[in-house]
Each structure stands twice: as C-alpha cells, then as structure tokens.
C-alpha cells in the first residue's frame, strides 16, 4: 500500500499524541504528584532512555553521535519511494523535496547504485497524453536528483502513463494516488 508523505507524517504525529496521552503522572489521593515512580522517562544526566528507567538494555540518545543520528534520519527518509503530483502537472511538491534530497545524497555516496523512476498518471486524458505526462513527472524527479548530487548514469526513467494504476477507481482519491513517480532501486 502506497501512502503519501502527508499521511505518514500524520500517522507519526497521531502515534506520538497517543503515546503522550496514554502516559500519566501518578498522583496521591490528595492530588499531590508522586515523584517516587519506578519508571523514569528521562534519566537525570540529560539523555532520554527508552525501556524503563535504567540504562541496562534501553536505547539512550546519549549513545548516538550527530553523524549517526543524521544517518538514521536520512535512512528513514529514503524509506519513502513514492511521490505524488497534482492534476495535470509535473511540479514536485514542496513536502517531497527533503525526501528526494536524501535519495540524491544516497545516490551520490553510492555511485554503483541505480534507480528507475517510474512515471504514472491517472486515467483522465488520452493514453498518449498520459504517457507524456508520466514521462515529464519522471524527468522532473530525475532533474531534481541530478541537481542534488546524483549522476545521470545512475538514473533510468520510464513512463507507464495510466497503464499501472496504484488504485482502481474513478474518484478523486484514486486519481490522486495514481498521479505519482515511484523510485525503484536496482
């Protein structure tokens, strides 16, 4: 199932909100806060610890260097490989730019890695027009990757037009999910 960047971000925020909402402060019967909790959310040396309050088996933020943290963020961004477009346009959406930059950096750091950009369109329009639109979308992503460090030789573009829909149907929701470019790493 392909999800948009906005949907994934919303799901992440909803999950964080749920976790925050489920956490509770222990209070005494008189309403005072019980500071003698057996599970600490933050250790007193400044780093946060996941899984209990001790550092025996948890993952501490103190153990990650800045480079490791940035590498983890870039790897998480590269998990997103589908980019959506508005109707009848090949303009890359602003919310896709950071993710595409992460892909471009990865390609620049791995010169033997190849990627195929598959351009798609929704069912509206003629087959010829949709093939051309899918090609324009794939070429727009290709230009963006090259400008941000990838090599032209690493990238192949192909257009499927309306031939490979992600979602069947003639609704705006289905059309929106079919207007896309997918990155397929080889």
Q: 176 with 84: CB under 8 angstroms?
A: yes
Burial 16-38 (b: 16+ CB within 10 A, else e): eeeeeeeeeeeeeeeeeeeeeee
Give domain status of residue 103, yes or no: yes
Q: What is the pLDDT of residue 53?
A: 46
What is the number of domains present in the chain?
1
Q: What letter would DSSP give residue 92?
A: P
Residue 39, Cα to own-chain centre: how many angstroms? 32
pLDDT band for position 34 (cuts 50, 70, 90): very low
Tell me the backbone φ, ψ of residue 160, rounded to 5 degrees: -105, -5
Q: What is the pLDDT of residue 67?
A: 84
The yes-or-no verdict on residue 46 having pLDDT over 60 is: no
| CATH number, domain with residue 179 | 3.30.1330.60
What is the pLDDT averaged over residues 101-129? 96
Give domain status of residue 42, yes or no: no
Helices 97-109 and 66-78 sit at what angle, rounded to 10 degrees?
110
User: pLDDT, tens digit, for every residue of 78-87?
Assistant: 899 999 999 9
Q: What is the pLDDT of residue 74?
A: 83
Q: Which structural domain range is residue 95 located in?
A: 66-185
What is the pLDDT averaged over residues 66-70? 84
What is the pLDDT averaged over residues 142-163? 97
Mean per-residue pLDDT over the chain, rounded: 79
Alpha helix stretches (DSSP H) within 44-151: 66-78, 97-109, 127-147
Give domain status of residue 137, yes or no: yes
Give domain status of residue 19, yes or no: no
3-state secondary structure at position 174: helix
């Amino acid at each position: 199932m392909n999800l948009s960047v906005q949907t994934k971000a919303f799901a992440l925020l909803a999950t964080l909100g749920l976790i925050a909402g489920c956490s509770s402060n222990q209070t005494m019967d008189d309403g005072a806060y019980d500071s003698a909790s057996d599970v600490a959310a933050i250790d007193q040396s400044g780093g946060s610890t996941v899984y209990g309050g001790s550092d025996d088996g948890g993952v501490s933020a103190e153990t990650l260097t800045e480079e490791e943290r940035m590498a983890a963020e870039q790897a998480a961004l590269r998990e997103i490989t589908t980019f959506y477009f508005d109707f009848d346009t090949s303009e890359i959406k602003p919310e896709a730019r950071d993710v595409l930059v992460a892909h471009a950096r990865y390609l620049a750091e791995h010169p033997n890695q190849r990627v195929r950009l598959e351009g798609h369109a929704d069912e509206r329009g003629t087959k010829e027009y949709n093939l051309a639109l899918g090609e324009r979308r794939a070429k727009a992503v290709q230009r963006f990757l090259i400008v941000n460090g990838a090599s032209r030789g690493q990238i192949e573009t192909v257009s499927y037009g309306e031939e490979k829909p992600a979602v069947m149907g003639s609704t705006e929701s289905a059309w929106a999910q079919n207007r896309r470019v997918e990155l397929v790493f080889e």
